[in-house]
Homo-oligomer: A and B are copies of this chain.
Amino acid sequence: MRVLGIDPGSHITGYGIVDSDKGNLTHICNGSIATDSKNSLTVRLNIIFDSIHKVICEFTPHAVVVEEIFYAKNARSAIMLGHARGVAMLCAAQHSLPVFEYSPMKIKQAIVGYGNATKEQVQKMVKAILNINLMPKPDASDALAAAICHIHHYRQGSGVRGQGSGVKNKTLVPDT
């Protein structure tokens, strides 16, 4: 099973791919999609979508994992974060990949062992678990952590369900 974790952000979107074969985890790649805040939001969203599209085409993952978000510093940053996350999820859907979501607490528990771990602790544990030489950048590390969390839950058969990308209830309603 090959899992793509994505950590969407309005400025930097991290991604990371992990393979799982009978419990053995292999780090495939990780990276960051950086967008210049001088560019318009439209251009930045296009860059995020296009970059994730290329990662999916190159590495052909079987599932996509994103962190659940319920809060943000303020409404404005929540909206901006939502834009990037929506585009990332859409990209997965357009590739017919199931999308799984886990809370930040569940991801930290899966990686470090407790839900209140710091970003640095997650980063170090991701590096150790995947036996990566270079420390992954924070956003890429969060993306890898999300992928590892999904693999753990999947192996434990915890009944986690992905969001299918099939369109069942299409309702474009032209009013006039």
Taking Cβ atoms with an 8 Å cutoff, the residues of A that contact B are 27, 29-36, 38-43, 45-47, 49-51, 54-55, 69-72, 74-76, 78-87, 89-90, 92-94, 99, 132-134, 136-137, 140, 163-176
Could you tell me the distance between the alpha carbons of A93 and B36 in the complex, rounded to whole angstroms? 16
Are B171's CB and A33's CB within 8 A? yes
Best-surrounded residue of A39, A40, A166, A167 (most CB of chain B within 10 A): A40
Cβ–Cβ < 8 Å partners of A168 in chain B: 39, 43
User: Known pairs A34-B171, A79-B82, A82-B85. 16 more at Cβ < 8 A?
Assistant: A27-B176, A29-B176, A33-B171, A34-B173, A36-B171, A40-B164, A42-B89, A42-B164, A43-B167, A47-B170, A51-B170, A51-B172, A71-B75, A72-B78, A82-B83, A90-B90
- Min distance, Cβ A87 to any Cβ of chain B, angstroms: 5
Cβ–Cβ < 8 Å partners of A31 in chain B: 172-176
Which of B43, B81, B93, B174 meets A79, CB within 8 Å? B81
Cβ–Cβ < 8 Å partners of A54 in chain B: 172
Best-surrounded residue of A35, A70, A81, A90 (most CB of chain B within 10 A): A90
- Min distance, Cβ A175 to any Cβ of chain B, angstroms: 5
Which of B45, B86, B134, B170 meets A93, CB within 8 Å? B45
